[in-house]
A and B are shown apart, each in its own frame.
Chain A
């Protein structure tokens, strides 16, 4: 039966009304869900972040970033030719060596080298440059006249600092990931031998007489709480090719840049003095860390540390140092503060003379030293890194890494005289912005530290910290890597932070940096950058992925469901249950018997195992110095997997497999 017209219209209106109400209700519910979702996962107010921000831009950048990504060079370390006409810079993100003509102040050439070039050293004849390539374990030999790479030499794991032996017969290359120094015979192009160094050797420089090589160690010795971290500078006899000695830098780490004074009597190294053994209850007065220089008297081996910070203003992440040819001034780049400090060497020497033997520790904690020895602070572009001084001593060049520029500092006026474009694309992507924020200490109280200060190379500093919220002297936690962190949430060892937004936003602001959190856009860029972090190539995994016999046996142990006597292993006790591929974490908390008396909980977040061999020490509080110790010392009741029936060779096999993950 057909309804009258007015009734049909009424029904239509009714239907429209119901549909509208349903849409409105659904919309309101969706909006409420979205608001709760944003608050739960980020701790931010919902209007500051859109769905697109987190779920698209936060995963790799904007549309333009993805499809028209600019090519950043990111100059890292630099060297100036003996005639002062050319400057060579390693472009760490472009995989090239930049040749800059200093007369016309322009980028003259760009030579492809290996993956992630780090250091550059010039041959004595000035015709060849040697470039260490971090990610493909090689050294590129660049013919500077031809402008091309002529040879690629093999080196150890993660070549970093590089120096040419006097006469040009050999190369010394610090193997950043291998804790060793490769000596490469340039006549044969082969690695002649490897010498043991400190943890993560970084910088290398010859003494003025060419007889000794000094190699800095970026990280301290692992697993040493409650003793303070100790880093070392390895001294190598160049002629005999053996380690002469190890200069210890107590309570210091991130020892990176190194330079010898023209007089040849002192070596200067950049360093950070962490305060990780104290509870992190404040930042003021260098309570978290101080930034400075180590001064080594080469004749005696005496090491003195001086702070370059001011009492209420800090200069984070000192990373390179150079001295003018007349020995009057030293320049130190602070990549976290975007500043180059100028140290008066005459006054520094006077300070050393006034410091009696045995009083070195007291001097190392003085915040007023800079008042005496720092002559100027020169603002630079973002993330100043490598330094080099011109042969005439009139200009100091600094690589402004995240601006793709080289700044030239006039030594007379102590100001930036000019800048040279090293191929800056002129646009900052979201990831690049995040990288800049990650490396900047501007969001920390008094600029004391950056994210990079605790996560050098986006990885770990191997230290354990005592944060305030869980009580002083309790809840000690080991620093965790940021590499491959995407998709491994929740975060923190107690798994309380639901997302990286929460971790890097309000929680860090309240308990660590002590200043307001990043604005939403900056936080999104920072998270996007951290999500993009990937491990360097795994040195224990064959290129094709095939396993050695030992690794294969280890894999079987990792995946086994029964003990050797065929007793079934409960699912919860199997390695692969908590550490399933592809990231080898089930993202849940577990009690593996690792809790210490001061811990609040016996359960901790399950870490991912990708490149786990690089993340020592282990367990939530870093009590296991090596992978072996997890089971030989800290698994007496088989709470961290069933290993009671393991032989020593079984454990070796398991670890060989773990190293391939």
Chain B
């Protein structure tokens, strides 16, 4: 009896303690898995269900891949969330089906389809948990593709980039923007690296390949570095889902200074079979520092480590990512208002330009700016104020082209096809100005700040009549 009481008394202490411990264990988030590599593997020579995403423990020797998603006809471009727990990848279940974005746990779980009904490629996580990816118009290496983003369950798709281009490989920069590769549809012209906010605003050219070359794969962001592969301009390598065409040079630039300090990490001499078509498919960081690159070639895939160039043969390798926790960039806020339909374009001085005919124009010689659509129709126009500034409202989400007009006609044309998001106020220093220039601190006359009665400005769509320097009233024409 006494023993029974003693046991009961102990249980009164032990049981609640056990219950508390169990509750704590349940509530406490499990630690992030140890760093590992996620690799897209393709089993050569077999039919159906031959591609998978596997986890390779970095500490394990010999490496023993453990599948976390299998049964795909093609799978590639894995990307890991910032907390290192989840992964997205592009996968095609059967040969005739479109490529979609899939999500799986890095620790291994049933893969879940995220997107539906598209040729969705190159997914990556955004800082707010959304997933960015490229949606191609067709299953074709150089088909038109735009960047999109959606919620983790595949709903709420938003278009991020606009225009007739081949936009691929989104990757999140340390400042929260998305870096991506833009090429012309069909592969003509150089591929270049652009940056855009996740809401599609503020798209700008970030960096380019060497003058004779084109960015053909990447960009990849590792820490504060942007990496990309560059190859000869005009080269068209056959790319397919998860295995973008790549070139023989791996280049790194600083995310803070993407046009300076360009370093070639691996040139043709670093690739044993560059002449025989080896190429970079993906690049990631490694836990102790350094980089790992998936190099694909006719003889199979391998994982190269930089610096040093150590090489691990990985049969069937199609791409990889480091499965580890990394710092989440801050989300960028948005002023986009989808209900607006228009955006504003402010230029401080059109003469701040790399084009000689514009930069050399006399003060006041450029009198008007015309905004054209892709079809060449005029969408809006505005006078250029005597200080070279203009302010014009333009239709949102349409590729735009600008013409600068003088008394004798067109002085210069912009063919870049940039866009403005609804309610975005897009500001430029000049027309194709030096991208490493900061604006001069002055009030653009086009704002008509000194004498713009609010009511009058409202009547004119937010653009006030010119102040002391003259009028800068925009005309708007809806297409």
Contacts and interface: CB of A to CB of B under 8 A. Distances in A.
B442 A228 contact: yes
Interface stretch (B55-63, B316-324, B443-451): B443-451
A509 B442 contact: no
Interface stretch (B19-27, B30-38, B73-81, B431-439): B431-439
A445 B346 CA distance: 20
B177 to A, nearest CB: 9
Contacts of A310: 254, 256-257, 260
Interface stretch (B213-221, B326-334, B364-372, B409-417): B326-334
Contacts of B202: 282, 284
Interface string B173-189: 10110000000000000
A367 B333 CA distance: 24
Interface string A80-123: 00000000000000000000000000000000000000000000
Contacts of B334: 510
Contact of B346 (A279, A290, A511): A279
Interface in B183-216: 202, 204, 206
Contacts of B127: 516
A279 B427 contact: yes
B344 A251 contact: no
A397 to B, nearest CB: 26
B462 interface: yes
Given A368-B260, A474-B454, A516 B439 contact: no
B427 A281 contact: yes
Contacts of A313: 175, 255-257
A8 B447 CA distance: 80
B441 interface: yes
B259 A311 contact: yes
A312 B256 contact: yes
A273 interface: yes
A58 interface: no
A351 to B, nearest CB: 14
B385 to A, nearest CB: 11
A59 to B, nearest CB: 28
A414 interface: no
Interface residues of A, number: 53
Interface in A458-508: 466, 468, 471-474, 476
B439 A368 contact: no
B438 A365 contact: yes
A515 B176 contact: yes
Contacts of B104: none
Contacts of B331: 515-516
Interface string A364-385: 0111101100000000000000
A512 to B, nearest CB: 9
B437 A312 contact: no
B175 A446 contact: yes
Nearest to B424: A281
B294 interface: no
A514 interface: yes
Nearest to B427: A281
Given A290-B438, A515-B333, A312 B258 contact: yes
A121 to B, nearest CB: 34
Given A286-B438, A365-B438, A476-B449, A511 B335 contact: yes
Interface in A254-291: 273-279, 281-282, 284-287, 290
A251 B441 contact: yes
Bin the interface of chain B by size. Answer: 35 or more
B440 A365 contact: yes
A597 interface: yes
Interface in A316-370: 361, 365-368, 370
A313 B258 CA distance: 10
Contacts of A287: 427, 438-439
Given A226-B443, A276-B441, A509-B333, A371 B257 contact: yes
Contacts of B339: none
B440 A251 contact: yes
A277 B462 contact: no
B367 to A, nearest CB: 20
Contacts of A536: none
Contacts of A365: 437-440
A311 B258 contact: yes
Nearest to A374: B257
B261 interface: yes
A648 to B, nearest CB: 30
Most chain A beta-carbon neighbours within 10 Å: one of B260, B335, B442, B454: B454
A311 B427 contact: no
Contacts of A251: 440-441
Interface in B350-401: 391
B425 interface: yes
A275 B453 CA distance: 24
Contacts of A517: 333
Contacts of A472: 344, 346, 391, 425, 447, 462
A514 B332 contact: yes
Contacts of A537: none
B439 A443 contact: no
B333 A516 contact: yes
Interface in B257-285: 257-261
Given A279-B447, A371-B261, A473-B448, A598 B335 contact: no
A599 interface: yes
A11 interface: no
B120 interface: no
Nearest to A282: B427
A474 B452 contact: yes
A600 interface: yes
A313 B253 CA distance: 13
B173 to A, nearest CB: 8
Most chain B beta-carbon neighbours within 10 Å: one of A285, A510, A511, A599: A285
A228 B441 contact: yes
Interface string A224-241: 011011000000000000
A471 B332 contact: no
Contacts of B348: 278
A598 B452 contact: yes
Contacts of A281: 344, 346, 425-427
A307 interface: yes
A229 B440 CA distance: 12
Contacts of A474: 449, 452, 454, 457, 464
Contacts of A312: 173, 175, 206, 255-258
Contact of A473 (B256, B257, B447): B447
Interface in B99-138: 127-128
Contacts of A371: 257, 260-261
Interface in B152-190: 173, 175-176
A569 B451 CA distance: 34
A285 B438 contact: yes
A514 B258 contact: no
Nearest to B447: A473
Most chain B beta-carbon neighbours within 10 Å: one of A466, A472, A513: A472
A361 B176 CA distance: 31
A288 to B, nearest CB: 10
Most chain B beta-carbon neighbours within 10 Å: one of A279, A466, A600: A279
A281 B254 CA distance: 26
Given A275-B438, A311-B260, 4 more contacts: A277-B441, A282-B425, A286-B438, A510-B333
24 contacts: A226-B450, A228-B441, A229-B441, A251-B441, A274-B441, A275-B441, A279-B447, A285-B435, A287-B438, A290-B438, A311-B256, A311-B258, A312-B206, A312-B257, A313-B256, A368-B257, A472-B462, A473-B447, A473-B464, A516-B333, A517-B333, A597-B452, A597-B453, A600-B454
Nearest 8 pairs between A and B by C-beta?
A: A473-B447, A313-B256, A286-B438, A281-B425, A473-B449, A516-B331, A310-B256, A515-B330
Interface of A: 225-226, 228-229, 251, 273-279, 281-282, 284-287, 290, 307, 310-313, 361, 365-368, 370-371, 443, 445-446, 466, 468, 471-474, 476, 509-511, 513-517, 597-600
